[in-house]
Structure 1
């Protein structure tokens, strides 16, 4: 219940409530309101928070209880399932084992900074930044949303940077890609579904479109327009470990896009559609997909990402090539486009990157080489001009 009184020219409220964890009666008081009405509105909101969250005042709540509530209220309803699972796992495996029994008010910047340095001895800079981001965001909400801390206790934390340069993206050179695809096209001896060209179609599509593996595996035959030679990318397949696969929205807003295909790839996709029907008729246990999935397992379900990766590795071995991952085909497409002289903005939009900067940063070594080549051409042109004038 809330009580109100005027102190000088300002109003204040006092709320009596029972702490859920201890069962003890407590009070919360706040003043400085210009009118009684303002105090009443604020008191109503405060009562709702106390009834909903049930946290101790002044940061006495345990970190574990706070994080569990915070994930449910501020994260789970607003994040994609796969994103939420990553954040929940970081909280459960990294944050709570170290800080779960602490009270929020006992968190100190110096002890937290030591922990961050310790984390860097086990994890990459990017991973530690993600863990810190989750923790810091939760503390900001403890201040501004829950009003149980006066300030974020882990502000201005320094994360040791990687001393080594970033690893270059992995891709196939033009001749290597041709060697890889030729190897995929050859049927594997003693293969169960030898007549199927599914993997050849899938890997060719990835290498000629720049699609992410999840985007490709989510495709249905309704997503391709053979007349206009386009594929509509509007979903991605998420295959969590030991969990049920599901369709989600693309990685970013710009990942939702229409990708133009070359005539050769469109022709192969036509063959794949016919071949898929032939395989279903040819093999007794090979079932069609109820959702008209473009690439699917023998029982009609989506292809598993880990199965595709393993098949990819086997092809790399057969072709006597470096053992990469299917994502290397996306990188290969981007690199080959840039080397062919494609505009960086076009490549960025085709890949569905959030910004051109992402593309430039990802393929920095390629763009730098292209810049050097362009300057060489410019210098040669200027030298010829001078000679002509002479």
Structure 2
């Protein structure tokens, strides 16, 4: 009997051990919820770097021909010299507001020490440059059909004075070394280069062996210089003295040359010489860029008379730089235009005012003219 009880006891013990092992195996296969959460929190996470996009911009403004006839500089005469600043007072806020402002210095600013002169052979007082400095001009284009009017001496005198004022110049040079050096400005992390060329010089030849004095329009030269500028800067600004005087639409040659220059790397093309306004245009290049051209900025300050020749304007545009971890992109955006008018009274009291104030009807007509090919062109007045 005792033996049976012992066997029964052993059987019960064995059964308990068996059941305990099964229970233990089942629990080990199902971790507690707290363990799952811990493992999830502890697992390594794949971190994907985000593209950090940064943007900066520079505002540019440009005006047309500064062509100082005798009647204009006589009107600026004072007891101690000349003062042109009152003539630009109304336009000044539109010029100095830009980060970079460009003007076409058509009559050479050689100073009165070599003798002032007017059409057809211009030489203007230094005080013209002083007034441009006061209104915020940063760069002047010097390549035009009047650059050689008073010879090498006037060119060197003008360059020296622009340098004294800290105003950059393009298109005319004091030496071969200066000709080979790019004219550049850097603002807000964007580097600009400035080039300037003219179709001719009214038949006046460049002094022998001194071709560096003046840039003339030549496609091979343009191609070479634009490639150099594009390689050394972010935005290339090109001034072209071309077209036919007093024609309000660009010639086929102007359009072809502007498109050629855009393909070679010009981003902003500023046209001069017609003395009247010609429209603006976006140029889509084969490399995916968009260049902007104004075929003629007209007269900004001159003694020429006649409604169309008294109308000029200020072009405004923004250069934008967008960068991320991989690349930098540059583009021109938001072009706008401010029509201006040179008013006077019997060839006195010359003043650059807003066209909308001088002639509202002409102002409306000019807006339609300038926006002929860029319908969304804005007007900053």
More helix by share: 1
More strand by share: 2
Larger gyration radius, structure 1 or structure 2: 2
Q: Which of the pair has the greater relative contact order for Cα pairs under 8 Å at 6+ separation?
A: 2
